[in-house]
Amino acid sequence: MPDADQSAGSVAKAYAPGVPQRVEGFFLKGNGHLDWGMKDRLSRIFHPDSGRTVMLAFDHGYIMGPTSGLERMDLTIVPLIAHADCLMCTRGALRQIVPPTSGKPISLRASAGSTILTDLNDECLLDIEECLRLNASMVALMVAIGSKFEALTIRNLTTMVDAGQRYGVPVLGVTAVGKDLVRDARYLGLATRVLAENGAHVVKTYYCDEGFEDVAAGCPVPIVVAGGKKLPELEALTLAYHAVSQGAAGVDMGRNVFQAGHPVAMIQAVAGVVHGGLQPAEAFELYQELRQA
């Protein structure tokens, strides 16, 4: 069980979600003591005034092949780039379809390994020099807490954090969820905290309906939320709304953007929630207006 003391029921948890973590010298929690290069890179990804970001994830092909909506990334992803704060992709996609003139910070998928045809998460890492060559603003890797590749992926995290610290590149730890693991607050709270304690500067995880506020409060670095499987647009906007209202620093969304009926309208509606403070219904209205434009 991930959390033995909680299951014993003897010790109350005290996350104090309403009390913001004190941050000195920077706008992102847990990252106040980093060197200049790290802070510069993070400031390209997160808006310094709000601490929030809308990241566009289209790295799915590295384990899933030509995912729906990503069959022709040159046609479907390129029009979205202007509306994203940061692009999360593989080095293949970056070199193949992302215009170097786009000026967007890159969260580079820097772990690679087994696909959906076998066991996921048996991964290795890209060379940090390759990440620097591609001007990555952040490097992202999978960490599979509770899976048989837990130790391997934590070693990967340690290796990448060491390399990132050496060169000033922040690390995004992505909580992989295996088939047998439940995406509840207990699991996500454990996984996000383990990633942060092992040096991840930002953590990507899933939203959960109950207890997400505690997950966010218990993670000492910013959390960005993945969208997960495609939902109806209003539901996806509601997920983004709840996530940021309950402490996420933004989203790192893929399928719910590029599989939306109108992806360019959808990413702008998501930004309306994350940056514009729109309620889900207002953001959905914006989506409907933009899809007709």
Question: Strand, helix or coil at 55?
Answer: strand
Question: Which of the following is catalytic: 29, 39, 104, 204?
Answer: 204
Size of the site for ligand 5RP (CB under 6 A): 13
Q: Are 187 and 2 in contact (CB under 8 A)?
A: yes
Regarding 85 and contact with ligand 5RP (CB under 6 A), the answer is no
What number of residues does the chain have? 293
The one segment of 2-10, 154-162, 195-203, 248-256 that binds ligand 5RP by CB under 6 A: 248-256
Tokens of 123: 């991964």
Decide if residue 252 touches ligand 5RP (CB under 6 A). Answer: yes
- Count how many Cα atoms sit within 13 Å of the Cα of residue 281 in the half-sphere of its side chain: 0
230 is a catalytic site residue: no
Cα–Cα dist 128/13, whole Å: 38
Return the number of other C-beta atoms located less than 10 Å from residue 197's C-beta. Answer: 11
- C-alpha distance from residue 173 to each of 60, 156, 196, 226 (Å): 16, 10, 8, 12
41 touches ligand 5RP by CB under 6 A = no
Span near ligand 5RP by CB under 6 A; candidates 164-172, 212-220, 223-231, 266-274 = 223-231
The tokens of 17 are what? 């979600």
Tell me: does residue 174 bind ligand 5RP (CB under 6 A): yes
Provide the minimum distance between the beta carbon of 88 and ligand 5RP in the complex, in angstroms, as a whole number.
6
The helix (run of H) or strand (run of E) holding residue 193 is helix 185-197
Instruction: Give phi and psi for 134, each to the nearest 5.
Output: -85, 5
Q: Does the footprint of ligand 5RP cover residue 42 (CB under 6 A)? A: no
**Tokens at 293, concatenated:** 């434009």
* Closer residue to ligand 5RP (CB): 39 or 192: 192
- Candidates 52, 83, 104, 255; binder of ligand 5RP (CB under 6 A) is 255
Asked if 253 touches ligand 5RP (CB under 6 A), the answer is: yes
SS3 215: helix
Asked if 59 interacts with ligand 5RP (CB under 6 A), we say yes
Based on the shown chain and the rule CB under 6 A, indicate whether residue 88 belongs to the binding site for ligand 5RP: yes
Question: By Cβ distance, which residue is nearest to ligand 5RP?
Answer: 254
Least distance to ligand 5RP from the beta carbon of 8, Å? 33
Work out whether 214 is an interface residue with ligand 5RP (CB under 6 A).
no
Classify residue 12 by its DSSP letter. Answer: -
Give the torsion through C-alpha atoms of 118, 176, 138, 51, to 10 deg. 160
If one asks whether residue 69 binds ligand 5RP (CB under 6 A), the answer comes out as: no
Comparing CB distances to ligand 5RP, the nearer of 51 and 228 is 228
Q: Which of 146, 222, 254, 272 touches ligand 5RP by CB under 6 A? A: 254
Is there binding between residue 178 and ligand 5RP (CB under 6 A)?
no
Q: Does 227 bind ligand 5RP (CB under 6 A)?
A: yes
Per DSSP, the three-state class of 203 is strand
Name the site residues for ligand 5RP (rule: CB under 6 A). Answer: 57, 59-60, 88, 174, 226-228, 252-256
| Catalytic residue ranges | 204
